[in-house]
Amino acid sequence: MKQNTRKYAAIFAIGGLSFVLGSFVTAKLQVAPVTVDVIKQAEKIIGMDFTDAQADSMVSNLNQFNTSYDNLRKLNMPNSVVPALNFNPIPIGFTYPDEKSGFKLSKTAKLTIPANRDDLAFYTIRQLGELIRTKQISCVELTQFFIDRLKKYNNKLLNVITFTEAHALKKAAEADAEIKDGHYRGVLHGIPFGVKDLLAQKDYKTTFGSVPFKDQQLDVDATVVTRLEDAGAILIAKTSLGELAQGDVWFGGKTKNPWDITRGSSGSSAGSSSAVGAGCLPFAIGSETLGSIVSPSTECGVTGLRPSFGRVSKYGAMALSWSMDKLGPITRSVEDAAIVFNAIQGTDAMDLSTIAAPFNYDGRIKSLKGYKIGYVKADFDRKYANHAADSATLAKLKELGAELVPIEYPKMPIGSMTFLLDAEAGAAFQELVLSHKDDQMVLQNKNAWPNTFRSAQFIPAAEYIEANRARTLLIQNWYGKLKGLDLYITPSFSLNLSMTNLTGNPCVVLPNGFNAKGRPASITFMGQLFGEGKLLQAAKLYQDATDFNKKHPPLNFQ
């Protein structure tokens, strides 16, 4: 027992963290100095082999590193502080897919308010916007309708952390007054929405869905919230997220799938997807680092847009991975996603990772003739649950006029690069490890964040940089393979999901069928980097030619 204790204590002396037999002791205890024996044990963590002489030469440097780590930890930096490094996904020789910006919506038919107002729950932004524009319903009435509906189902779905009711009704009254005076701001004016509770609104808590942060209130408004409210939209709820943006379990319970409440809604944009899927919000904002828009949108049968990295400001949002986090809309339709994206995209002086790029969308196109759409042939050739529906999607795109072009993945160790997320998350939440607060989190299994954060403290900086160098090669390689294509199609769950969260390419995930148990399935439309215009146009044409997004859960669990 003493021998084992010595071994573990030796390994973990490097880095100034103290663990004994896997248990956290404290970061504030005096850490034993690094010795040759410590280095020889630590070699096993980094997969290297040094001679005793080489190890002896490193002792003074490593002890000095430990002193530096301790000094830096005393800064107690909050999650909002970003590194002095910005990830740039743009490959060498890159040209923007859109030459100039433009935004044209499809024509909408004349609309009258339904006899049964409950039908409003599944109206699109376009439809609700038309009812407001023509003054068939007031902003206050619509806002109260969705607040009431959220409250009606929240006790079963657990998709709201905080209602912003007082704020919402005040903003709705202001919107009605503006519209009455002839100051109509556009299609989002008076439309209620929710945001994943990792986005700050200064009048309410921003909990990150996590026990250590459940009483946190940030004195800023996230840029995304500001831009939506500037467009006239009404924030009515902070939606649930899996704790610190993982899964669908948060400090209030497990957010449920409205199609089947025996299941979670998936995550981590759990509440946003669940609420839109249940007709409790016209749209909501989610975030994705490695599948957190794609997965819950699939589970809840909604449409989700994950924009290109750098398209949407992350100011006022929780940081999980500075080089992989992306914010995007979760909606009922592709055109709704385009509407919200158009309002929130663009550079921001408060977020230096944002990149200026044109966005040109035309919802009036009627054919995919002239479009070259790639498809990852190896993915579609394998056997998987949604194969028949995905193959039917390819056939529909060809029917709509597209030329289908087979493509293949780069021959690179893509999965081996995803520890970049662990490294950045481990830095973003190192304070939880140092303070023991990671022990307060709801999930404590090997795949949960606490274990990931602890493990991440042992990722060497050199290996993090090497993985980012490999990522540069991946970005360049994938850009070359996509040249000449307008977009490409892939199953929603494949190697592509990890790869493109590394490369920064945008995607739209949308319903394309149902499984044998009646739950929604999805397909993913992938764009060129900053190619959201053609991506959204093609996805809209496909969605208009099908009716999967018009199916709704029975909600028979009241």
Strand-pair partners of 374? 405, 488
**Catalytic residue (choose from 292, 295, 323, 492):** 292
Q: Return the bridge partners of 249, or none.
A: 254
Q: Is 265 a residue of the active site?
A: no
SS3 29: coil
Residue in 467, 424, 430, 199 with CA at minimum distance from that of residue 322: 424
CA dist 306 and 322 (Å) reads: 16
| Active-site entry in 18, 138, 196, 314 | 196
Give CA angle at 415 (412, 417), nearest 5°.
Answer: 80
d(CA 246, CA 244): 6
Q: Residue 71 class from Cβ within 10 Å (0-12 exposed, 13-18 middle, 19+ buried)?
A: exposed
Other beta carbons within 10 angstroms of residue 333's beta carbon come to 22
Alpha-carbon span 356 to 348, nearest angstrom? 9
Respond yes or no: is residue 292 known to be catalytic: yes
Concatenated DSSP letters of 74-102: TT---TTPPPS-----PPTT---S-SS-E
Terminus-to-terminus CA distance in the chain, angstroms? Answer: 56
Taking alpha carbons only, the member of 503, 502, 497 closest to residue 482 is 503
Q: How many CB atoms are closer than 10 A to CB 153?
A: 22
In the chain, what is the greatest distance between 2 CA atoms, to the nearest angstrom? 84
Options 138, 210, 266, 268, the catalytic residue: 268
Query: Is the dihedral angle over the CA atoms 73, 85, 313, 220 positive or is it negative?
Result: positive
Active site residue 196: yes
Phi and psi dihedrals of 477, rounded to 5? Answer: -60, -45
| Residues forming the active site | 196, 268, 292
